Chain A
Amino acid sequence: MDKQRLMARRSFLKHSAGGAIAFEAVPAVAAANASRAQTRAAPSDRVVVGLIGVGVRGRDHHLPKLLANPRAEVAVVCDVDRNHADLAADMVLSQKSKKPLIDYDFRRLLERRDINAVVISTPDHWHSIIAIQAMEAGKDVYCEKPLSLFIEEGRRMVSVARQYGTVFQVGSQQRSDWRFRHAVALVRNNRIGRLVKVATHLGNPGTTQGAFIHPGEWEPVETPPAGLDWNIWLGPAPYKDYSPNRCHFEFRYHLDHSGGRITDWGAHHNDIAQWGLGMDESGPVKIDGKGVFNKAGPYDYAGFLEVHYWYRNGVELVCQNEGGNGVRFHGTDGWIFVSRLTLEASDPEILKVPLTGTDTRAYDERNRKEEIPGTDDHHSNWFDCIQSRQRCVADIEAGHRSASVCHLGNISMRLGRVLQWDPDKEEFIEDAAANILKGKPFRAPWRL
Chain B
Amino acid sequence: MPSINPAVIQWIGQMADTDQVVAYYAYQCLQEEVFRVSRPGERAAQTALANALGEALVAQAKPGQGAGSRGAASFRSNVFLTSAAKERTEPLYPRRVRSNLARLLGYLPVEAAVPPLAKALNDLEGREAARQALECNPSERATDALIAALNAAGPTFCVGVVNSLAKRKGERVLAALRTAAGDPQTEVRIAALQALADFPEPSHDAILEKATKAASARERRAAHVARARLARTLRASGNPSAADRICRAILASDAPEPQKKAGRFALGIS
Contacts and interface: CB of A to CB of B under 8 A. Distances in A.
Q: Do A and B assemble together?
A: yes
Interface of A: 136-138, 159-160, 163-165, 216, 218, 238-239, 293, 295-298, 300, 414-417, 430-433, 436-437, 439, 441-447
B214 to A, nearest CB: 18
26 contacts: A137-B258, A138-B261, A159-B232, A163-B262, A163-B265, A165-B261, A218-B21, A238-B103, A238-B132, A295-B29, A296-B21, A296-B24, A297-B20, A415-B39, A416-B35, A432-B40, A432-B138, A433-B39, A436-B136, A441-B133, A442-B160, A445-B160, A446-B163, A447-B159, A447-B191, A447-B194
A444 B36 contact: no
Contacts, number: 109
Given A136-B225, A415-B38, A416-B35, A432 B191 contact: no
A431 B35 CA distance: 12
A241 B150 CA distance: 28
Contact of B266 (A137, A163, A238): A163
B228 A163 contact: yes
B157 A441 contact: no
A433 B258 contact: no
A390 to B, nearest CB: 15
B159 A444 contact: yes
A441 B135 CA distance: 7
Contacts of A416: 32, 35-36
A137 B32 CA distance: 42
Interface of B: 20-21, 24-25, 28-29, 32, 35-36, 38-40, 99, 103, 106-109, 128-129, 131-133, 135-136, 138, 156-157, 159-160, 163-164, 166-167, 187, 191, 194, 225, 228, 231-232, 236, 256-259, 261-262, 265-266
Contact of A164 (B132, B135, B262): B262
B109 A164 contact: no
Nearest to B259: A136
Contacts of B36: 416
A216 B21 contact: yes
Given A164-B258, A164-B262, A430 B160 contact: no
Contacts of A415: 35, 38-39
A164 B265 contact: yes
A136 B103 contact: no
Contact of A138 (B187, B257, B266): B257
Given A136-B259, A432-B138, A442-B163, 5 more contacts: A136-B228, A163-B232, A218-B24, A298-B20, A433-B38
A38 to B, nearest CB: 36
A297 B15 CA distance: 14
Contacts of B106: 436, 441
A446 B128 CA distance: 12
Nearest to A219: B20
Nearest to B132: A441
A296 B25 contact: yes
Nearest to B265: A165
Contacts of A300: 28
Nearest to A243: B20
B39 A417 contact: yes
